């Protein structure tokens, strides 16, 4: 039986509707495959690499910027002793209260990033008998605390520091130390730690604001292989590196003490 014109028109319409439905289904499946069956994040929404922050004017949360880095190993009380305008800190960390073995790292504060290491970890030595929170003359312990670094000097010529440098034969040293090691050359370069001294004077100045009983003459100097009388000793090359790196405009400081004291 031959189809009539009306039946042909009806069949063509049905085929067209079927094709349209098939194309719509294929398009939906393809879009689902591309999106992984997930809704795209709303504008301003937190991603896996950010945290939701305060709402923006349009009501959408904004990502929170990372907090500036702190100096590792320093607790809140110790961090509070570092000057707000200080941008260089030498951190000297002792093994324990009665140990004369320690390590030193120079840190620099960078805008927006916080504190970052500006040196490797340097081996160092402190007072022969360790550390003290109340240093007195002759206790053979290094004072615990945070101090400014303002003046340098030594027997040898200025190695290239920005700090005021006092060259004088008075820094000639001889004899042997507690463990029998020779002390010659230990004061070829020195950096005065502003404990019980007047900043702005030469490291060899004998002025003592707290009185002579509280000791003084506490320096960073070239190490001689053993504990000191209260100073901090660094390897010769590291001492030169430190002096060349410190900048007056950075208002350098030193934080020093046993590890458990610095974490407070």
Residues with a catalytic annotation lie at: 221, 231
| Torsion, CA 92, CA 97, CA 100, CA 104, rounded to 10 | -10
Report in angstroms the alpha-carbon separations of 185 from 15, 131, 152, 163, 170: 101, 24, 15, 21, 12
In the structure encoding, which two tokens stand for residue 48, read together? 């896996």
Q: What are residue 171's phi and psi, to 5 degrees?
A: -85, 10
Q: Are the C-beta atoms of residues 138 and 215 closer than 8 Å to each other? A: yes
Tokens, residue 194: 């502003």
- The residues, ordered by sequence, that sit 6+ positions from 260 with a Cβ below 8 Å of its Cβ are 96, 97
48-71 burial code (b ≥16 CB/10 A, e <16): eeeeeeeeeeeeebeeeeeeeeeb
Are 61 and 224 within 8 A, CB to CB? no
- Determine the Cα–Cα distance for residues 111 and 188; give it in Å rounded to an integer: 35
Q: What is the DSSP string of 193-216?
A: E-SSS-TTS-TT----TT-GGG--
């Amino acid at each position: 039986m031959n189809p009539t014109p009306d039946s042909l028109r009806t069949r063509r319409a049905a085929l067209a509707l079927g094709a349209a439905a098939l194309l719509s289904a294929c398009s939906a499946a393809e879009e689902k495959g591309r999106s992984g069956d997930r809704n795209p994040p709303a504008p301003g929404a937190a991603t896996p690499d950010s945290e939701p922050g305060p709402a923006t004017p349009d009501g959408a949360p904004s990502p929170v910027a990372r907090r500036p880095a702190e100096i590792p190993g320093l607790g809140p009380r110790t961090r509070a002793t570092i000057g707000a305008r200080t941008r260089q800190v030498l951190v000297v960390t002792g093994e324990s209260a009665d140990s004369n073995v320690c390590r030193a790292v120079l840190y620099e504060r960078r805008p927006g990033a916080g504190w970052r290491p500006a040196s490797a970890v340097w081996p160092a030595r402190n007072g022969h008998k360790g550390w003290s929170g109340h240093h007195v003359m002759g206790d053979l312990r290094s004072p615990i605390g945070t101090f400014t670094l303002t003046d340098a000097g030594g027997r040898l010529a200025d190695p290239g520091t920005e700090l005021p440098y006092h060259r004088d034969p008075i820094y000639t040293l001889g004899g042997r130390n507690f463990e029998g090691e020779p002390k010659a050359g230990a004061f070829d370069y020195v950096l005065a730690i502003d404990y019980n001294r007047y900043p702005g004077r030469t490291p060899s100045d004998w002025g003592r604001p707290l009185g002579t009983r509280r000791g003084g003459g506490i320096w960073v100097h070239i190490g001689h292989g053993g504990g000191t009388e209260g100073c901090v000793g660094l390897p010769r090359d590291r001492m030169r590196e430190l002096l060349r790196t410190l900048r007056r405009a950075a208002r350098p400081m030193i934080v020093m003490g046993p590890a458990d004291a610095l974490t407070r």
